[in-house]
A = this chain, B = another copy of it.
Amino acid sequence: MTLLGGVEAGGTKFVCAVGRGPDDVRAEARFATTTPAETLARVVAFFREHAPLAALGVASFGPVDLHPRSPAFGSITTTPKPGWQHVDLVGPLRRALGVPVRVDTDVSAAALAEHRWGAARDVTTLVYVTIGTGIGGGILVNGRPVHGLLHPELGHVRVPHDRAADPFPGACPHHGDCWEGLASGPALAVRWRQTPERLPDTHPAWELEARYLALGLVNVLLTVSPERIVLGGGVMTRTQLFPLIRAEIVRLLGGYLQSPALKEGIDDYLVPPALGDRAGVLGALALADGA
């Protein structure tokens, strides 16, 4: 059986894997994201070692152009990352490796991986949200990623911000106090003037963080009506957040939505990723497989 290749193209590192799924990874490599030319050359060299591949999946940081008819299809568009604006990921890899290349956002890929092998196998409409250096989300409806005009940009939704209780103006360079501006890892670091890893579990930062995360998640929930929310990323390794967020979601909904999943079943509704930080590269394998 021919193998598949998957690349998680991140802003700080690239992860490459050859295999067919979480229990069948034949080779893996990770390296820092440097210039596009150097980084893509490393990707090509890794996969050439493991040829032939049936297809390659690319799970990319964004924004990325996913419109099949766009001249910039498969390119990163307006990232703040120096040197990576308007970089074509798909074309060079397809030409160098001679295989079909399928691309989506890193978060859509993670959603696909969790749906196929992880915490959302039994549902078809789901949201994967990552809370880390930014906030991002991938949405599957009937098992397929939602793209639309561009692709979801969950991090930049606006949520209520009580400036009397929390005078922090927000850390988003585009929008100030959008969701990401209030609740990403860097927002925590700037608001509390220390790295989030060093904030003790008892610090009031976490209650406030849970409140903002719940506000954004309730909005996603009322919009897409997912059957499950998978919540990952560096900030969520602070697992004490899960019960705080769940309780706040139930409180914010105020009993309006009639579903056991949003009451006694909330522990199974809002869950951590089963694949941890491997969801991205495994999602790239799922993309390669035509998921």
Binds B, one of A1-9, A35-43, A96-104, A139-147: A139-147
The 8 Å CB contact of A161, one of B157, B160, B226, B257, is: B160
Task: Choose among B149, B158, B224 the residue that contacts A125 (Cβ–Cβ < 8 A).
Answer: B149
Q: Known contacts being A141-B141, A148-B224, A220-B223, is A254 close to B174, with CB within 8 Å?
A: yes
Is A239 an interface position by the 8 A CB rule?
A: no
Cα separation A156 to B262 with both chains bound (whole Å): 15
Chain B residues, Cβ within 8 Å of A161 = 160
Name the residue on B nearest A220 (C-beta): B223
Assess the A156–B222 pair: CB atoms within 8 A: yes
Contact of A160 (CB < 8 Å), options: B77, B159, B259: B159
Most chain-B Cβ atoms within 10 A of its Cβ — which of A63, A161, A224, A227?
A: A224
Which residues in B have their C-beta under 8 angstroms from that of A150? Answer: 225, 257-259
Known: A125-B146, A125-B149. A154 touches B226 (CB 8 A): no
Q: Are A141 and B146 in contact (CB under 8 A)?
A: yes
Q: Give A60 Cβ to nearest chain B Cβ, in Å.
A: 15
Of the listed residues A63, A160, A222, A262, the one surrounded by the most CB atoms of chain B closer than 10 A to its CB is: A222
Whether a CB of chain B sits under 8 angstroms from the CB of A175 is: yes
17 A-B pairs in the complex with CB atoms less than 8 angstroms apart: A63-B257, A78-B258, A139-B223, A146-B225, A149-B262, A150-B225, A151-B225, A152-B222, A156-B222, A156-B256, A157-B219, A157-B222, A158-B218, A158-B219, A160-B160, A174-B256, A175-B252
